[in-house]
């Protein structure tokens, strides 16, 4: 049965107050004759929330929820993913990917509380976000209706939307428009569209960047920063304990000023196409770097190598919106187990786009000055190498001997 | 049976002309009463080779071979590894790792030609290089004797060596000594030891760097460079066809000047310990970056993701000195198959340590302007997303429905 | 745009002569007013092909192609997959999975030759086969129309089909019906549906099995068989060279008689649901077993272990119908490289469902009697183990020493 | 420094009462002038322990500890490994591998309590067990001395040992000798050596087997057994709750009688060589089979597929004796997380070497009769497949379109 043929009485909408979701409210009411409850999930996008309620009600919503999810976002989504070392396709720090599940979870909670029979979102039919939203909805409310107007309505462009808004007397929100398609939260800001759509174009960073500056515009003098981790969790900056949200905000500022965390990539979307984007993750880039350095001294080789494989899977799972799945949970259990000893201080030098290690220490360091002092007799006898090589190389030697015999 | 109890008549020595190998020649003659043939494998270390023969003979060698392996090194080892995207522990571009096998292979060839019964090398007993040398020797001459003086002799320090040299009237080679332990070839320069031995110390790059400068010392103006690849092989720079060796030399110069390709890491050695090193790979860093970018548009998602896993294994195999093994060959077959369409131009901006993508094109791009013009009907129907999400999310939905039924 | 709204003039149909495809012919003509060309791809399903042409024409097809794909199926699909050791979810030998791509490829070839503008198949909308067919069609004819009546028509059951057939005066093919849903080819026979739909039911093998008997019904006396492989390709049986098709037929007979190759599993379909099936692959089970045994002596450990990981990916790719993709090709390149030394004889004892190794030999065996005779001095010195263990265990020891120091 | 040059005052010996360890006691006293404390770790090997103390003391030990580790062995080592689905090289159920770490851990505990300065074991220098013992010792007592007489002493054969025993007036233990080298515990019995050393020989199972019979000797009538799991732990057999040790004993009996769990393989030892062995794991084979079946219905696809990769790593880690490592712990955390829903009943038919699924049920089944009754509208719409295929196949289609354009 076609989606729009279904009947809904009360719909919860993921609401931002921008053009798209402003138009969706009357469209939902027109098409379903339903009540619309707007929900704005705050994951640190830093937009003006004042006036949002007025706008939502004016546009036809019966109610607006503003939900501050920032702290939960950082502690339950960002940090576990950073601990995993998960980076999608070697570049993307997943800023949008894990923001969708947490918002969707809250949408479901409100929909259940309100007795709504459907949830609507403003994601396009070509992107990943529709998948991430809907997978999370299915996980918590498998029988909940889902409405994705962009996949079904007749409005095919921004112009169509504006016309629709005017026809319905909806005040069009004024936005400082670069016209790039953006997604912002505490962790990152993404840019897509326009000239970026052709990979042959060099991004015009001076026009694009908002969280910081390009390396060229960064100060000529380096900034040093020291991060302290306890069991893989960042807890202090330059020796001062900081709440995780504040810590990321501070790193965003430091990173942004120093031209750090800018990524330009062509990525593979879940829905089968490639897309090009520019990402700003200034604080995130610093955090990943520091954490990775610390793991170099705190994890043993076998754990470090296998964890790197797990990281790739973790990144795919998060990118695909499969946060609320048994596999993500099991991978998190793996990661958490590895973080027991990831404790210590990492000093970094931030300079014009570079994050440069400037020394680190850990009480759990497996590379400790003290190891050297155990002395050769106790820990390392160079003659052991001969035996090691002989056995490690045994398969090669046997193969070569047999090849010789056969006159290979 | 103890190694040194064995009897050898003619020994081929991996010779550099430095202090270690200068001392090893008389030591071998003393201990085995054998003839020593010195072999200097040139993999682009760029040292003075003039006068090397005189020195070798003076120190007691009966002959010196100088073997130019540079071209083979680039085409048969460096480029295939770069195509694999192999980076050890996410950082190290394997500069020393694949230089050892190619030298060892030539050592065996000469040893066989000369009728030698053993091969000697000057690697310490704590490092990876002994393994890499010996594995390669076993692969080509499984019954060849192997002599590793550092594992067995009584000389425990540089001072012991100097004393030994003086006692044997060996002229000690004068070297500009920073006293870091170094390994240099066309691809890279590594630094270990001294203050680097404690990870808490920030490297003093101005003192360390030789192939280039630190980001701070790099020019204030960016340099642009365009690389052309054909089937994963770099063939031209700024539109000018270049031999692969020349191309890397040019990239080394450009990269070095712009503070690029400097890595500081604590790595896990094959022999079970962690060690800290600083690597300079200016040209290599540029080449990997450009190649990786091109793969973003030329490889499909499934290939790209699986290749990233293969890359890690490839890096371990190379790092461990297992170049001449069936697994490395099979992994190379995989990689080669993926490179069929990795053809195109990549423009990069080099600026104070940063490599910044500045546009790319490929006749095989899977992200092509033309795809957009196929039109929606032909290639992408947004309503397809609904079906996709419903099936992709089916396991999540079924699980949630069942959980509900069970009153989870 | 809805599929059925499209206009097609000439449609090529994957035709079996069964009820489904017999009904599809008039349905296509009714709905599209198009000419229908039927194509029967023979992959060894062993059905009567005599009379098929008459039936196709009578039902309304303008032409019938009967294409013998058996030899290509074995050599280009079955054997490379068997060499990979690919087994879906540890059980399924992929019998249906790789039959679809080869048939679809031929459908495209004929469609192009005939100037058809669409290809139709009779797969249901709940299964994997629709995906496999359509992915292969897209690979060779991306703009070709695809018609999947089961996803769109109003016939919801076998009864509906029979009624439709009678209304259109189509002679209903008489089939010996167990009413399990089956797929048969040279490699296997699958059974789904009826009592199998509940995993709590024990399969009634006596009723289900067609290619052989259950272990209980197998002879009390074992059958021995010796297989000869050259570079991973089976070339002889009991010392007699056999064409690959004949070889599999013979193994099917031997395996079937001895109750071998029966699998009962709940598998995860690509389209998101679990399904339960019983598979008969008597010859395939024997071939995989023999080949795997031979690899135990012909492959080195590193290759063997990594190949086992590749095998899983290979199985997923084949199961998902992604045969004609760069990743499948690259994985095949990997596999092919490993098969260079997989040559030798494997003797097996077949007994009431068991395949029991009964000895094997290979000129490339890395476990050769001769290795033992190289003597300890040359190949293995037990004292080497001490060095090996000390270095292999170094990370554990260092960690423990540090833990002790910290008073863990 | 050579091992035997070290001085030890009190040595704890892993003692079995067999020829090897009986000879080692006087040898240790001779060579080190040390006190020897014998420790027999009982992991269910089922040997006579009566009289063992007398024998140990008579041979020169100052004390004998008999440690019953069976329950801990099952619950902390066997079951977690079975839950992981870990099978070394696709065949070996790791019976010896995880028995060594648990014994070594107890040896260390006793050594510490007794103030011993070394631990001795009777493993040969060619096998895996020396590694497994010593890695575990290093993990718990990194500075403890380790003595491995077989790697150092002059006794090269059984005959040498007997001669040594006679010279020292040691009563030689009478053993029923097939002369295969064996290792037995609750979980398995392994056989190596003699005719098995040549892979071309068919094993003479009637001579070899001790825990059960060959398929041919098994009863003509099948045995049915139902296993109940709760969160991956087997808790009942045929509806009767059983302690885990009793459960395995019962399964051993049932499996052995029915010719089940016999493996013949050429495996890759950690120390670089291939070896051939025959393993009996009757109960283990049944347990793995039942657990794997249950996971088919209780785990979702993504978890199931990734867990299969983890299983391989897990098997290598266990095989290599790396039980007490951060990676094993992290892998176990992953596995444990997946077991939350692995609850249910599995019925099996045991028949002449075959384990045949005979139905299963689970309250957490993701393949439940009830799913079907959710109806099409709610859970599965066949038209969704079209969208799914279109997006899943999009990369293939785009590539094909581009290839066409380029006139591929």
Among B325, B347, B395, select the one facing A396 at the smallest CB separation: B325
pLDDT for B406: 82
The arithmetic mean of pLDDT across residues B363-381, rounded, is: 66
Separation of CA B94 from chain center: 3
A362 in helix, strand or coil? Answer: coil
The arithmetic mean of pLDDT across residues B347-355, rounded, is: 98
Chain C residues in contact with B339 (beta carbon < 8 A): none
**Percentage of residues of chain D with pLDDT beyond 70:** 94
The arithmetic mean of pLDDT across residues B79-99, rounded, is: 98
pLDDT for D372: 52
CB contact under 8 A, A327 and D303: yes
**Percentage of residues of chain A with pLDDT beyond 90:** 79
Phi-psi bin for A406: left (phi > 0), alpha (psi -120 to 50), beta? alpha
The arithmetic mean of pLDDT across residues B331-354, rounded, is: 98
Is B139's pLDDT higher than 70? Answer: yes
Comparing C123-127, D222-226, D284-288, which segment has the lowest mean pLDDT?
A: C123-127
- Residue carrying structure tokens 């206009």: C7
pLDDT for B219: 98
CB contact under 8 A, A366 and C399: yes
Comparing B204-218, B305-319, B379-393, C310-324, which segment has the lowest mean pLDDT?
A: B379-393
Chain C residues in contact with A381 (beta carbon < 8 A): 387, 390
C180: part of which helix (H) or strand (E)? none
Quickly state the pLDDT bin for D116 (edges 50, 70, 90): very high
Quickly state the pLDDT bin for C169 (edges 50, 70, 90): confident
Beta-carbon count within 10 A of D406 CB: 9
Is D122's pLDDT higher than 70? Answer: yes
Q: Where are the beta strands (DSSP E) in A239-337?
A: 240-241, 262-268, 274-280
Torsion sign over Cα B350, B351, B353, B357: negative
Three-state DSSP string of C6-27: CCCCEEEEECCCCHHHHHHHHH
Is B109's pLDDT higher than 60? Answer: yes
pLDDT for C171: 80
pLDDT for C45: 87
In the residue annotation, B362 being an active-site residue is answered as: no
**Cα torsion through C384, C386, C391, C395, rounded to 10:** 160
Q: List residues of D whose CB lies inside 8 A of any B CB.
A: 300-302, 363-366, 368, 370-371, 374, 379-381, 383-388, 390-392, 394-399, 401-402, 405-406
Chain C residues in contact with A401 (beta carbon < 8 A): 371, 374, 379
Chain B residues in contact with D399 (beta carbon < 8 A): 300, 366
Quickly state the pLDDT bin for B368 (edges 50, 70, 90): low
Taking the C-alpha atoms of residue D370 and residue D103, their distance in angstroms, rounded to an integer, is 48
pLDDT for B27: 96
Contact call for residues D87 and D311 (beta carbons, < 8 A): yes
pLDDT for B372: 52
The arithmetic mean of pLDDT across residues D326-340, rounded, is: 98
- Most confident range, picked from A2-11, A171-180, B393-402, C319-328: C319-328
Quickly state the pLDDT bin for C374 (edges 50, 70, 90): very low
Among B3, B352, B367, select the one facing A352 at the smallest CB separation: B352
In the residue annotation, A20 being an active-site residue is answered as: yes
pTM for the whole thing? Answer: 0.97
What are B147-196's pLDDT values in tens digits?
999 998 998 888 888 899 889 888 877 655 557 889 999 999 999 999 99
Task: Determine if residue D337 is labeled as part of a ligand binding site.
Answer: no
- Do β-strands A274-280 and A262-268 pair in parallel, antiparallel, or remain unpaired? antiparallel
DSSP state, C187? S
The annotation places the binding site of C for L-citrulline at: 92, 97, 128, 132, 181, 190, 267, 279
Taking the C-alpha atoms of residue A99 and residue A19, their distance in angstroms, rounded to an integer, is 20
User: Whole-number mean pLDDT of chain A?
Assistant: 92
CB contact under 8 A, C386 and A386: no
Among A366, A388, A394, select the one facing C402 at the smallest CB separation: A366
pLDDT for D46: 79
Q: Return averaged pLDDT per consecutive 10 residues of chain A, 408 residues in all.
A: 69 93 95 97 84 93 97 98 98 97 98 98 93 96 95 87 88 67 95 93 97 98 98 98 98 98 97 94 98 98 98 98 98 98 98 98 83 54 88 90 80
What are B314-336's pLDDT values in tens digits?
999 999 999 999 999 999 999 99
Beta-carbon count within 10 A of D16 CB: 17
Query: What domains does chain D contain, in order, with CATH numbers?
Result: 3-80+94-181 (3.40.50.620), 188-299+342-361 (3.90.1260.10)
CB contact under 8 A, D1 and A377: yes
In this complex, which chains have at least 3 CB pairs below 8 Å with chain B?
Answer: A, C, D
Buried b (16+ CB within 10 A) or exposed e, C194-216: eebeebbebbebeebbebbbbbb
Considering only alpha carbons, which residue of chain B is nearest residue A274? B367
Three-state DSSP string of chain D: CCHHHCCCCEEEEECCCCHHHHHHHHHHHHHHCCEEEEEEEECCCCCCCCCHHHHHHHHCCCEEEEEECHHHHHHHHHHHHHHHCCCECCCECCCCCCHHHHHHHHHHHHHHHHCCCEEECCCCCCCCHHHHHHHHHHHHCCCCEEECHHHHCCCCCHHHHHHHHHHCCCCCCCCCCCCCEEEECCCCEEEECHHHHCCCCCCCHHHHCCCCCCHHHCCCCCEEEEEEEECCEEEEECCEECCHHHHHHHHHHHHHHCCCCEEEEEEECCCCCEEEEEEECHHHHHHHHHHHHHHHHHCCHHHHHHHHHHHHHHHHHHHCCCCCCHHHHHHHHHHHHHHHHCCEEEEEEEECCEEEEEEEECCCCCCCHHHHHCCHHHHCCHHHHHHHHHHHCHHHHHHHHHHHHCCC
Closest CA to A219 of A275, A269, A259: A259
Is C123's pLDDT higher than 80? Answer: yes
Quickly state the pLDDT bin for B402 (edges 50, 70, 90): confident
The arithmetic mean of pLDDT across residues D239-268, rounded, is: 98
User: Whole-number mean pLDDT of chain C?
Assistant: 92
Among D306, D327, D334, select the one facing A333 at the smallest CB separation: D334
- Which of A83, A127, A130, A334 to probe the D interface (max D CBs under 10 A)? A334
pLDDT for C1: 37
pLDDT for B335: 98
Q: How far is A90 from chain B (nearest CA, A)?
A: 9
**Percentage of residues of chain C with pLDDT beyond 90:** 79
User: Whole-number mean pLDDT of chain B?
Assistant: 92
Beta-carbon count within 10 A of A406 CB: 9
pLDDT for B48: 67
Of C181, C214, C244, C368, the active-site residue reads: C181
In the residue annotation, C195 being an active-site residue is answered as: no
In this complex, which chains have at least 3 CB pairs below 8 Å with chain C?
Answer: A, B, D
Taking the C-alpha atoms of residue A23 and residue A151, their distance in angstroms, rounded to an integer, is 14
Chain A residues in contact with D267 (beta carbon < 8 A): none
In the residue annotation, D157 being an active-site residue is answered as: no
Chain A residues in contact with D335 (beta carbon < 8 A): 330
Closest CA to B350 of A321, C96, A353, C280: A353
Exposed, middle or buried: residue B54 (CB in 10 Å: 0-12, 13-18, 19+)?
Answer: exposed
Is D337's pLDDT higher than 50? Answer: yes
What are B246-260's pLDDT values in tens digits?
999 999 999 999 999
The arithmetic mean of pLDDT across residues C89-118, rounded, is: 98
Among A131, A349, A367, select the one facing B274 at the smallest CB separation: A367
In this predicted model, which residue has the larger pLDDT, C163 or D375? C163
pLDDT for C3: 47
- Residue carrying structure tokens 């709750």: D241
């Amino acid at each position: 049965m076609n989606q729009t043929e279904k009947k809904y009485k009360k719909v919860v909408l993921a609401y931002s107050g921008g053009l798209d979701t402003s138009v969706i409210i009357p469209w939902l009411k027109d098409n379903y004759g339903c009540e619309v409850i707007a929900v704005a999930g705050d994951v640190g996008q830093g937009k003006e929330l004042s006036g949002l309620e007025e706008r939502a009600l004016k546009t036809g919503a019966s109610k607006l929820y503003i939900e501050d999810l920032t702290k939960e976002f950082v502690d339950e989504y960002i940090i576990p993913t950073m601990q995993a070392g998960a980076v999608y396709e070697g570049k993307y720090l997943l800023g949008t990917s894990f923001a969708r599940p947490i918002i969707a979870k809250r949408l479901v909670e409100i929909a259940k509380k309100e007795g709504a029979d459907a949830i609507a979102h403003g994601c396009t039919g070509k992107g990943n976000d529709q998948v991430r939203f809907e997978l999370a909805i299915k996980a918590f409310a498998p029988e909940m209706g889902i409405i994705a107007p962009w996949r079904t309505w007749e409005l095919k462009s921004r112009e169509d939307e504006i016309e629709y808004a005017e026809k319905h007397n909806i005040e069009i929100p004024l936005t400082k428009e670069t016209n790039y398609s953006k997604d912002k939260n505490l962790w990152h800001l993404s840019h897509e569209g326009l000239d970026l759509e052709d990979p042959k174009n060099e991004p015009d960073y001076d026009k694009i960047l908002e969280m910081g500056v390009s390396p060229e515009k960064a100060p000529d003098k380096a900034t040093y920063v020291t991060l302290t981790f306890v069991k893989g969790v960042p807890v202090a900056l330059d020796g001062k304990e900081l709440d995780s949200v504040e810590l990321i905000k501070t790193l965003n500022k430091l990173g942004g000023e120093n031209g750090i965390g800018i990524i330009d990539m062509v990525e593979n979307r879940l829905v089968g196409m490639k897309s090009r984007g520019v990402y700003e993750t200034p604080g995130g880039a610093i955090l990943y770097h520091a954490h990775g350095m610390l793991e170099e001294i705190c994890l043993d080789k076998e754990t470090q190598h296998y964890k790197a494989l797990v990281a790739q899977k973790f990144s795919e799972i998060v990118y695909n919106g499969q946060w609320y799945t048994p596999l993500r949970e099991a991978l998190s259990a793996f990661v958490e187990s590895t973080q027991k000893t990831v404790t210590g201080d990492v000093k970094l030098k931030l300079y014009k786009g570079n994050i440069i290690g400037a020394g680190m220490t850990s009480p759990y360091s497996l590379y400790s000055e003290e190891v050297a002092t155990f002395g050769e007799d106790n820990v390392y006898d160079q003659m052991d190498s001969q035996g090691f090589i002989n056995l490690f190389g045994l398969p090669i030697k046997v193969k070569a001997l047999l090849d010789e015999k056969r006159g290979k």
